[in-house]
Copies of this chain bind each other. A is one copy, B any other.
Amino acid sequence: MAAQILDGRALAKEIRAEIAAEVAAFKEKYGVTPTIAVVRAGEDPASVSYANAIKKTFEKREMGFQLHVLPETASQDEMVELVRRLSADPNVHGIIIQEPLPKGMDEAAVKEALAPDKDVDGVHPVNAGRLAQVAPVGRPPGVLDYFVPATPLGGLEILKRYGIEISGKRAVVVGRSNIVGKPMALLLLRENATVTICHSRTRDLAAVCREADILCAAVGRARLITADMVKPGAVVIDFGVNFVDGKMVGDVDFEAVKEVAGAITPVPGGTGPMTNAMLLKNVLEAAKRQVGG
Contact B194 A194 (CB under 8 A): no
Proximity bits, A114-148, B CB within 8 Å = 1, else 0: 00000000001111111111001000011110100
Contact A195 B197 (CB under 8 A): yes
Chain B positions within 8 Å of A133 at CB level? 125, 128, 178, 182
- Oligomeric state, in number of copies? 2
Interface residue? A201 (CB, 8 A): yes
Contact A132 B186 (CB under 8 A): yes
In the assembled complex, the Cα of A129 lies from the Cα of B133 at a distance in Å of 9
For window 190-244 of A, CB contacts with B under 8 Å fall at 192, 194-199, 201-203, 208, 211
- For the complex formed, measure the closest distance between the CB of A293 and the CB atoms of chain B, giving whole angstroms: 16
Among B112, B126, B127, B196, the residue within 8 A (CB) of A196 is B196
14 contacts between A and B (CB under 8 A): A108-B143, A125-B128, A125-B129, A125-B130, A125-B144, A126-B126, A126-B129, A129-B129, A132-B132, A194-B198, A194-B199, A194-B202, A195-B196, A196-B197
